[in-house]
Amino acid sequence: MESNSIMVRPYTASDQPIWDGFVRTARNGCFMFERNYMDYHAHRFSDASMMVFDGGKLCSVLPAHDHQIDGEQVLSSHGGLTFGGLVVGASAGAGDQLRYIRAVCDTARAAGFSRLTYRTMPHFMHREPSEDDVYALFQAGARPIRIDLAHTLDLTRRPALSAKRRNCIAKARKAGVEVRRSTDFESYWGIVESVLDTRHARKPTHSLDEIRLLASRFEQIQLVAAVVPSGAGEEIIAGAVTYQFDRVLHVQYLANSDRGRAVCALDAVIASLIEQAAEYSQWFSLGVSTEQEGRVLNEGLSWQKESFGARPTALTTWSLALN
């Protein structure tokens, strides 16, 4: 759909080269918005991504999918990713962002969507400050419908570890725990699946095959494991999957086996990753600490992250009626 010089059209598979090239230079782009990442779960999400052109030049892209909620046709950015939102070029100003959001909403409305849901990228993920989309949503009449708390550590001014954390790390070292990169996703995924099933009665968001696929496509995704000697070899007893972004090292799928828990192996993993991240990142992200769509704070998990010096950051999902 066209609005003055602005034209919005759906993404198609043939657009992948220009989509990915744009994301890599955008002021709020990240590799999770590249198509080789987004499309790994194309069988689960009906893609409805949009591309915004101004004067014939690509100026913004919207990672999105369509689905129904209570009989409404909803455009969501993005239910299959940690966050979504309009990705904009480095030269775009706040006024441009207002026009892009309006054009996307007009196009979505004309396509039969009655609502837009929009999960904003947290500020620490931006290559440059890029919260003008939040203002544009507010101007358009959107309202927040979900707020999660994530925990992040500012590596330029991190506080000292708590005494308990220091003692746990010393215990892991005394037990001979070594922390290093691994490619043995199969062994580690057994730990992740067991922990999630036992403690939360759920499965990992990614299957073993999916996380292997993503790690093979993006060198920014790594498995970091705590290992100890076992027989003639060694055993993984804790670990984390890391995502390296421009200014952020994000960790997820943190897990301990029973043996790992007994020797504080996960503490050793987190401490090692913080030291590693401090060399080339500004932020260390430990992910969300809320459950049930943000309504419940997992205080134990929150405290554990805060004991490493991490502090809360709000992640907001907005909803905008289009009719």
- pTM to 2 decimal places: 0.93
User: Between β-strands 248-256 and 283-288, what pairing exists: parallel, antiparallel or unpaired?
Assistant: parallel
Q: Residue 44: what pLDDT? A: 86
Contact between 47 and 11 (Cβ < 8 Å): yes
**2-3 β-sheet, strand order:** 2-3, 6-10, 50-54, 57-62, 87-88
Classify domain 157-281 at the CATH class level.
Answer: alpha beta
The CATH architecture of the domain made up of 2-147+316-321 is 3-Layer(aba) Sandwich (3.40)
Q: Note down pLDDT in tens along the chain; length 323 residues.
A: 555 689 999 999 999 999 999 999 999 999 999 999 999 988 889 999 999 999 999 999 999 999 998 889 999 999 888 899 999 999 999 999 999 999 999 999 999 999 999 999 999 999 999 999 999 999 999 999 999 999 999 999 887 888 899 999 999 999 999 999 999 999 999 999 999 999 888 899 999 999 999 999 999 999 999 999 887 789 999 999 999 999 999 999 999 999 999 999 999 999 999 999 999 999 999 999 999 999 999 999 999 999 999 999 999 999 999 98
Cα separation of 149 and 302, whole Å? 9
Structure tokens at 117: 């849901």
Q: Which positions ≥6 away from 189 have C-beta within 8 Å?
A: 204, 208, 211
Which part of the chain has CATH 3.40.630.30? 2-147+316-321, 157-281
Q: Residue 87: what pLDDT? A: 98
C-alpha dihedral (181, 304, 252, 318), degrees to nearest 10: -160
Give the relative orientation of helices 208-217 and 185-200 as an angle to the nearest 10 degrees. Answer: 130
Strand, coil or helix: 151: strand
Q: Residue 3: what pLDDT? A: 54
Nearest CA to 313 out of 129, 152, 189, 142 is that of: 152
Cα separation of 289 and 147, whole Å? 11
Q: Residue 4: what pLDDT? A: 62
Q: Which positions ≥6 away from 18 have C-beta within 8 Å?
A: 58
Strand, coil or helix: 223: strand
- CB half-sphere exposure, 49, CA atoms < 13 A: 27
Structure tokens at 6: 């602005």
Q: Residue 79: what pLDDT? A: 87
Alpha helix locations (H) across the chain?
A: 16-25, 35-38, 94-110, 132-140, 163-174, 185-200, 208-217, 258-262, 265-277, 299-306
Cα separation of 9 and 50, whole Å? 6
Residues forming a β-bridge with 144: 318
Cβ of 223: how many Cβ atoms within 10 Å? 22
Q: Residue 199: what pLDDT? A: 86
